Structure 1
Amino acid sequence: MTPVSAHGAAHRTPRATVGVSLKAYFGRRSARVWFGEVAVAVGAHEAVRSGAVEVFVVPTYLQFDDARDYLAPVGIHVGVQDVSAHEPGAYTGEITAAEVAESGGVFAEIGHAERRRLFGETDEVTAAKATAALRHGVTPVLCVGESERTDAAAAARATVAQLHADLAGAPAGRVVVAYEPVWAIGAPEPAPTAHIVAVSRALRAALDADPARAGSTVIYGGSAGPGLLARLDGAVDGLFLGRFAHDPAAFTRVLDEAAALAATRADADADADGDGVAR
């Protein structure tokens, strides 16, 4: 059966992806206000309604039900900011992938630099969490990125190695790889355009070389905001937003850029289907 979206249209493979992590900035009341504003502004966006642009939001656990109730009806997916490496059992305080899936969670953010730095999570822990998510049909949003600022070639090598380590032993399935150079997170500006392009293309090549990761996506985070996606020359599939998405108008501007990327890719696919040559 062809999957059906919240709007009743047949699901289409997205050509661009935009995600938002709310971290722990909002309380539950302020989050509800934001969800309501986003449901109106983003849910009305034609590219989201058509499925050309995939949108997901990862709130806190206590905000999850509110986010799902506001956002899922307008076609915005909801996820969680972390997930347990364990199956259901005697693991006090853990949120299992099984429960995330049962609750309607579609994505799980895994391996963010803050989790690694503040809570000591290693590549082995990240791989175990990615494995648990994929086992239960939850798409990992796998955060990777070099810790120190360096040249793009070195950053690409380090980040691809991290990607392989973070997926070691994981079952087949789609992943969303969020390239977030640690030194750019929370900075006034994102990483330089050429740097993002070089590393993101290396990550894309690594995913494309692995049949188990068919359909996977590369997005950029790290002080990402309006105006960036258009500069990246199609090297990424979208953006992973933080504080810039707190303003629904800025969020919508990013969606406009994602819609333009999706339209360009649709035109290229149409050209390829027409004569076998992508123009």
Structure 2
Amino acid sequence: MAPRVTVGVSLKMYFGHRQAIDWCRSVRALAESHPAVANGSVGLFVIPSFVAIAPAVAELAGTPVLVGAQDLYSEDRGAFTGEVSGAELAEAGARVVEVGHAERRRLFGETEEVVAAKTAAALRNGLTPVLCIGEAANTGAADAVAECERQLSSALADAPGGAVIVAYEPVWAIGAERPAEAEYIRRVTSELRRVVAGLPGRDGSAVIYGGSAGPGLLTELGDDVDGLFLGRFAHDPAALGAVLDEAAALAATRAETVEAGR
């Protein structure tokens, strides 16, 4: 069964190697002590740098926490110096992979075609894409929905079947002091959830919010989102623990709703 709420953390390039492994050790302690993570109602994934993936997998072995990668190449093997394939990531123990983050698009020129090719590469290698989509400027929720639907359709047009984690990250909110307004996020994510639920071959998919997300936000968003994609605000394990508590509360509410509907 897919988790009722999903929480992910990307370390980007903030941590050194030892710091990343120490942080994963703290995450392990959180996961082992948190009933909602242990029973699977809250899914947790962490995404360190490439060189920290293997030791993170080892550190988190035996827990439900999934380890992911921040990027992958569109081809599975060949003369592509400096790139890492989805096939190798899967072999190393990664289970999810970020695709199309706004920083990849802006700093490294990733086009819609590149994002689509990487999404396909992830799925054909058994990795769940954390597909990052979002509008560049705040011109209203309706415009944001239209742009996100366009990006989602482009990325999945020729991709193999399989679940995806759609990470809605308005570009203008990434790295900001605070996230987008809760009502704005809810309008966009609720519509994206409806769209994703209707996609054939995407059972088990989720829509989560990223973009300066931190403790307190998930409670505000409630049932209009499937979780959060955290960055620097989760570098403190205590803050991550607070978000997991919120996720557990939301998961319990969803379970009650399902039970009441039977």
TM-score class, shorter-chain normalisation, is: over 0.9
Partner of 1:7: none
| 1:166 and 2:155 are equivalent in the alignment | yes
Q: Give the letter for the 1:69 counterpart.
A: A
Q: Is the 8 A contact 2:31 2:64 kept in 1?
A: no
Q: Equivalents in 1 of 2:4, 2:220: separation in Å?
A: 17
The C-alpha deviation readout for 1:33-79, integer Å capped at 9, x for no partner, is: 11111211233110000001000001000111121111232221001
When structure 1 is superposed on structure 2, of 244-253 and 42-51 the one drifting more is: 42-51
Q: Equivalents in 2 of 1:45, 1:209: separation in Å?
A: 32
- Given candidates 52, 62, 68, the residue that maps to 2:51 is 62
Partner of 1:29: 18
Shift of 1:221: 0.3
Q: Is the 8 A contact 1:178 1:219 kept in 2?
A: yes
Q: Equivalents in 2 of 1:122, 1:168: separation in Å?
A: 14
Q: Equivalents in 1 of 2:68, 2:214: separation in Å?
A: 20
CA RMSD in angstroms comes to 0.9
Q: Is the 8 A contact 1:160 1:202 kept in 2?
A: no
Q: Equivalents in 2 of 1:22, 1:103: separation in Å?
A: 18
Partner of 1:8: none
| 1:101 and 2:90 are equivalent in the alignment | yes
Q: Equivalents in 2 of 1:189, 1:42: separation in Å?
A: 27
When structure 1 is superposed on structure 2, of 105-114 and 41-50 the one drifting more is: 41-50
| 1:43 and 2:32 are equivalent in the alignment | yes
TM-score, L = length of structure 1: 0.92
- Given candidates 117, 124, 130, the residue that maps to 2:106 is 117
Query: In the TM superposition, what are the counterparts of 1:67-216 in structure 2 within 5 Å?
Result: 67-216=56-205
Unaligned ranges ≥5, structure 1: 1-11, 274-279
When structure 1 is superposed on structure 2, of 165-174 and 251-260 the one drifting more is: 165-174
Runs of 4+ in 1 over 2 A off after TM superposition: none
Q: Is the 8 A contact 1:43 1:76 kept in 2?
A: no
Identity in percent: 55
When structure 1 is superposed on structure 2, of 87-96 and 55-64 the one drifting more is: 87-96
When structure 1 is superposed on structure 2, of 135-144 and 41-50 the one drifting more is: 41-50
- Given candidates 219, 237, 241, the residue that maps to 1:252 is 241
Shift of 1:193: 0.7
The C-alpha deviation readout for 1:83-116, integer Å capped at 9, x for no partner, is: 1100212211111111111111100000000000
Query: In the TM superposition, what are the counterparts of 1:225-264 in structure 2 within 5 Å?
Result: 225-264=214-253
The C-alpha deviation readout for 1:145-173, integer Å capped at 9, x for no partner, is: 00011111111111111111111200111
SS of 2:71's equivalent? coil
Q: Equivalents in 2 of 1:211, 1:167: separation in Å?
A: 11
* Aligned residue-pair number: 262
Unaligned ranges ≥5, structure 2: none
